[in-house]
């Protein structure tokens, strides 16, 4: 009986040593850049797919530009942790990459320069009139147009 009791206690002790810590008092830190790894994976995957499908460097530029445009427009990057200025700059960079790749595919080096300028300019004009979203003290999102505050939800 003593051996059984000792083995039971040892087994319970060994079992509790293998369990992860589950304290209720532990603080969980918030991620510094939520969704950043997902965006990087999207851009890297689209660059690789563009290089494989397209003609090497030109296809890679097209894929990277499209991936950057998509990643900077996702719902996950529109959270309040991301500044809208940086999202806009990322969109413009993606547009210029997409234009440079398309221009290089069509017209060589000169086409690449013209395409990059055209893509950056078009994306700049497209994103110029967008709303910048802010968060009020009560947690609701809003944007400002003509001096008035418009709530999103």
Beta bridge partners of 134: 142
Q: Check if the beta carbon of residue 52 is closer than 8 Å to that of residue 62.
A: no
pLDDT confidence bin for 81, thresholds 50/70/90:
low
CA atoms within 13 A on the CB side of 48: 6
pLDDT at 148: 84
Provide the mean pLDDT of the chain.
Answer: 83
pLDDT confidence bin for 23, thresholds 50/70/90:
low
Beta bridge partners of 142: 134, 151
**The token pair that represents 130 in the structure block:** 């967008």
Instruction: Please indicate, yes or no, whether the overall pTM of this predicted structure exceeds 0.75.
Output: no
Q: Return d(Cα 53, Cα 59) in angstroms, integer.
A: 7
Lowest mean pLDDT segment, chosen from 9-18, 19-28, 106-115, 124-133: 19-28
pLDDT reading at 64 higher than 80 = yes
Share of the chain above pLDDT 90, in %: 34
Torsion over CA of 127, 93, 64 and 86, rounded to 10 degrees? -70
pLDDT at 22: 65
pLDDT confidence bin for 84, thresholds 50/70/90:
confident
More confident residue, 125 or 33: 125
pLDDT confidence bin for 112, thresholds 50/70/90:
very high
Whose structure tokens read 């994103």?
127
Q: Return d(Cα 51, Cα 59) in angstroms, integer.
A: 5
- Break the chain into its structural domains and give their ranges: 37-129
Q: DSSP string covering 58-110, please?
A: HHHHHHHHHHHHHHHHSGGGGSTTS-HHHHHHHHHHHHHHHHHHHHHHHHHHH
| pLDDT (average), residues 122-127 | 88
More confident residue, 24 or 146: 146
């Amino acid at each position: 009986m003593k051996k059984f009791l000792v083995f039971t206690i040892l087994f319970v002790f060994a079992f509790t040593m293998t369990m992860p810590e589950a304290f209720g008092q532990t603080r969980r830190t918030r991620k510094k850049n939520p969704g950043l790894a997902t965006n990087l994976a999207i851009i890297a995957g689209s660059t690789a797919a563009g290089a494989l499908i397209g003609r090497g460097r030109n296809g890679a530029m097209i894929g990277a530009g499209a991936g950057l445009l998509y990643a900077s427009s996702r719902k996950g990057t529109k959270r309040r942790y991301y500044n809208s200025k940086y999202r806009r700059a990322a969109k413009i960079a993606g547009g210029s990459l997409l234009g440079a790749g398309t221009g290089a595919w069509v017209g060589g080096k000169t086409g690449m320069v013209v395409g990059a300028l055209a893509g950056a300019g078009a994306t700049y004009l497209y994103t110029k009139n967008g709303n910048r979203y802010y968060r009020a003290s009560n947690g609701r999102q809003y944007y400002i147009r003509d001096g008035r505050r418009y709530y999103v939800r």
